[in-house]
Amino acid sequence: MNLRRVWILLLVVCMLLSSGCAVRVVEKPGASAPVIAVQDTPSPEPTPEPSPEQSPTPESTPSPTPTPEPSPMPSAEPTPEPTPEPVSAEYRRGLYSFDDLSYERPDYDALSAEIEDIRTMLTDGTDSETIRDAYDILSEDLNVLNNAYSLASLFSAIDVNDEYYSAETEAIMEKFSEFQVLVTEMEVEIYESEHRDVVFSDWTEEDFEYLRIAEKLYDEEYVRLNTRLEELINAYWDAQSNTTFTYRGEEYTLAELDGLNVNETTYYSLMNDYYRNLNAVVGELYLELIGIEKQIAAKAGYDNYVEFSYVYEYSRDYSPADALALAEAVKKYAVKEMEDLYSSFTSMEYTGLMQALNATDQIFRRKEHIDAYVDEISPEMREAYNYLMEYQLSILTDSDTSQAGAYTTYMPVYDLPFIYLHENGGYMDISNFVHEFGHFYCHYLGGWDSANLMSLDVKEICSQANELLFLPYYHRYNKLDTYNGIVKYQMIDALDSLINGCLYDEFQQYVFSHDISTVEELNEVFRTISRSYGIGDDDYYVDLGYVWVDVMHNFEAPMYYISYATSIVPSLEILEISLEDREEAIRIYNEVVRSDPELTFSETLEEIGLGSPFDEETIVKVVNAVVDLTGVGKHVKVG
Ligand SMILES: [Zn+2]
């Protein structure tokens, strides 16, 4: 196996996403003033002041979080890592609880020395089998980097003010790019030596192709470009935290807006000022980031960053053109249903939804329903759930100093999947937990291979379809109106993944393949593309052109967003099947979870018999499923 695959995990740690922007308008039934609803916001969260009858305001979904401030000095001594023990027959993965996990800084020098030794062996008469063994051991040992990264980011998420772990997380990232250079140099030497056929005997044509790209890409200049990218990402998060607006001669952060007690018109006008200031700073950073990514793609031998990212960074088996075709189908068939859903809430549904969105301690209080759901899905899911509970393999926290959002990680040295989840309150804590538990379940069964090799798009079916299959359980402890409100809200969330997944991909495809030199041009591109999805200037409280700054993936993971759209389509198809035959839907879901992680996204769908998201018929089918489930809107037809 090509060592390049060792690096992939960093890119694809599930970022519980949710797309869109905090400041989108939803009609409240029976009231003229809109309230804020839905979606993902980087902190600080721009929540407008609700008028008395609108209270309570819905919580937004969790957002990915600011990278903590780097610190040059460790604030705590690392403790030694326990020696991994063999997995017991009872559970399939490592038997460590959270308390057993301790961070140890990787021995970078030892890893470098291992690489140096292999290079020496290539010319000192060592036989090929011995070199192959050394190469395989190195491949295992490099997992220490992934493990350390997972742990340091976890500890850093638990307390974002912990300077030691945030510095360690950054340091490991930097080391990754240096090791990419060293490993590539070594692999090129192996390739050019007489030992190639033995050492690379299991390499596929794709592995060799990646090596050819890596050879061009990874060098000192790459490390320099990559370091600059990291700096830009940090500057993005700094801007998110530190941008201010001016009111009566004083500077305020967005978090201070609520305390100003201004009327509604002033409130939104100040919010717009904030976004204008943020957009001006973030836009300049983005222009530089685009330039650097283009240089990286050019180094790798690609004319176009978009193509490079799809193929090399995400190993996708569909093209940017396929994604644009999906976007056209989404505009044609899905946008209207989204609009209909937004304005479909009855007063009772709305009131019930607001209560559900403000309920507290839901994961704990609804445990019996999560338990019942787990039993319904499969004995293996029950096993994974028992494992999670017995070994405490999740951190659920509502601490102010913990990172927002949620993700599931994997620590290869411990052979351990792990969930991190920040509770915002509201029923969505449950859906977020169920989402992450879908990843956990998949990694529990498939281990490191599923965590490391499975395509991002397939991974997100494991989580998103899990959320959708859980839907009927909300009926068990909610009144019918509340349940209907929740179902509509979840369908808005699903269509939002579909629509924004396409919208942001289209935006990124455009800006990464054109010469854009001003922030205003970026904003205008975003306005134009948004309007093509039926999004008007009135749909946001702030200038439509500023809205993109809230989506951190633009910085942290360009070209990632389309995976939200491609994976929600098969997930909705599983939901569609469940409306007629729930058992069959669950069977298909379990097949996805157990699918061969080496298969590509399209191969997996084909093997399981799910439709391609690039086929208009599939989009029509899933939109109609949303119509059937909610009773809102009209069926669509291909053509
Ligand atoms: Zn996910």
Task: Quickly count: other Cβ atoms within 10 Å of residue 325's Cβ.
Answer: 16
Lowest mean pLDDT among 6-20, 57-71, 241-255, 471-485: 57-71
Closest CA to 573 of 637, 498, 506: 498
List residues bridging with 35 in a β-sheet. 26
Report the separation in Å between the CA atom of 467 and the middle of ligand 1, taken as the mean of its atom positions: 10
195-223 pLDDT, tens digit each: 999 999 999 998 999 999 999 999 999 99
The dihedrals phi and psi of 395, each to the nearest 5 degrees, come to -115, 115
Chain-wide mean pLDDT for the chain?
87
Mean pLDDT, residues 124-153: 94
Alpha-carbon dihedral of residues 106, 97, 389, 158, nearest 10 degrees? Answer: -50
Report the separation in Å between the CA atom of 475 and the middle of ligand 1, taken as the mean of its atom positions: 24
Report the separation in Å between the CA atom of 178 and the middle of ligand 1, taken as the mean of its atom positions: 29
- Alpha carbon distance 384, 371 (integer Å): 12
Report the separation in Å between the CA atom of 117 and the middle of ligand 1, taken as the mean of its atom positions: 39
Query: In one letter, which amino acid is 603?
Result: E
Mean pLDDT, residues 91-96: 96
Report the separation in Å between the CA atom of 79 and the middle of ligand 1, taken as the mean of its atom positions: 31
Report the separation in Å between the CA atom of 15 and the middle of ligand 1, taken as the mean of its atom positions: 6
Report the separation in Å between the CA atom of 463 and the middle of ligand 1, taken as the mean of its atom positions: 5
Q: How much of the chain, in percent, has pLDDT values that exceed 70? A: 86
Lowest mean pLDDT among 46-60, 103-117, 382-396: 46-60
518-536 pLDDT, tens digit each: 999 999 999 999 999 999 8
Report the separation in Å between the CA atom of 451 and the middle of ligand 1, taken as the mean of its atom positions: 12
DSSP annotation of 25 reads E
Contact indicator for 168, 68 with CB cutoff of 8 Å: no
- Alpha carbon distance 262, 135 (integer Å): 65
Helix, strand, or coil (residue 414): coil
Alpha-carbon dihedral of residues 164, 170, 174, 180, nearest 10 degrees? Answer: 110
Residue 403: per-residue pLDDT: 85
Residue 20: per-residue pLDDT: 31
Residue 400: per-residue pLDDT: 87
Report the separation in Å between the CA atom of 273 and the middle of ligand 1, taken as the mean of its atom positions: 33
Report the separation in Å between the CA atom of 245 and the middle of ligand 1, taken as the mean of its atom positions: 34
- Alpha carbon distance 123, 418 (integer Å): 43
Residue 86: per-residue pLDDT: 45
The dihedrals phi and psi of 409, each to the nearest 5 degrees, come to -120, 175
Mean pLDDT, residues 328-335: 97
Report the separation in Å between the CA atom of 310 and the middle of ligand 1, taken as the mean of its atom positions: 19
Contact indicator for 473, 372 with CB cutoff of 8 Å: yes
Report the separation in Å between the CA atom of 602 and the middle of ligand 1, taken as the mean of its atom positions: 19
Report the separation in Å between the CA atom of 118 and the middle of ligand 1, taken as the mean of its atom positions: 38
**In terms of pLDDT, which residue wins out, 84 or 591?**
591
Task: Quickly count: other Cβ atoms within 10 Å of residue 415's Cβ.
Answer: 21
Contact indicator for 382, 450 with CB cutoff of 8 Å: no
Answer whether residue 39 shows pLDDT above 70.
no
Report the separation in Å between the CA atom of 436 and the middle of ligand 1, taken as the mean of its atom positions: 6
Residue 528: per-residue pLDDT: 97
- Alpha carbon distance 330, 336 (integer Å): 10
- Alpha carbon distance 202, 1 (integer Å): 6
Report the separation in Å between the CA atom of 494 and the middle of ligand 1, taken as the mean of its atom positions: 13
Report the separation in Å between the CA atom of 232 and the middle of ligand 1, taken as the mean of its atom positions: 25
Q: What radius of gyration, in Å, describes the C-alpha atoms of the chain?
A: 24
The dihedrals phi and psi of 103, each to the nearest 5 degrees, come to -90, 135
Report the separation in Å between the CA atom of 458 and the middle of ligand 1, taken as the mean of its atom positions: 10
Residue 358: per-residue pLDDT: 92
Report the separation in Å between the CA atom of 464 and the middle of ligand 1, taken as the mean of its atom positions: 7
Most confident of 17-26, 42-51, 451-460: 451-460
pTM of the full structure: 0.86
Mean pLDDT, residues 154-175: 91
List residues bridging with 422 in a β-sheet. 397
Report the separation in Å between the CA atom of 294 and the middle of ligand 1, taken as the mean of its atom positions: 28
Q: Are strands 416-422 and 406-411 parallel, antiparallel or unpaired?
A: antiparallel
Answer whether residue 18 shows pLDDT above 50.
no
Report the separation in Å between the CA atom of 435 and the middle of ligand 1, taken as the mean of its atom positions: 6
Mean pLDDT, residues 621-636: 97
The dihedrals phi and psi of 48, each to the nearest 5 degrees, come to -75, 160
543-561 pLDDT, tens digit each: 999 999 999 899 989 999 9
Query: In one letter, which amino acid is 402?
Result: S
Report the separation in Å between the CA atom of 429 and the middle of ligand 1, taken as the mean of its atom positions: 14
Residue 404: per-residue pLDDT: 84
Mean pLDDT, residues 108-134: 96
Most confident of 82-86, 157-161, 322-326: 322-326
Report the separation in Å between the CA atom of 541 and the middle of ligand 1, taken as the mean of its atom positions: 29
Retrieve residue 637's tokens: 């037809």
Residue 563: per-residue pLDDT: 94
pLDDT band at 35 (very low <50, low <70, confident <90, very high): very low
Answer whether residue 24 shows pLDDT above 90.
no
Report the separation in Å between the CA atom of 18 and the middle of ligand 1, taken as the mean of its atom positions: 9
- Alpha carbon distance 226, 362 (integer Å): 41
588-601 pLDDT, tens digit each: 999 999 999 999 99
DSSP annotation of 317 reads S
Mean pLDDT, residues 482-490: 97
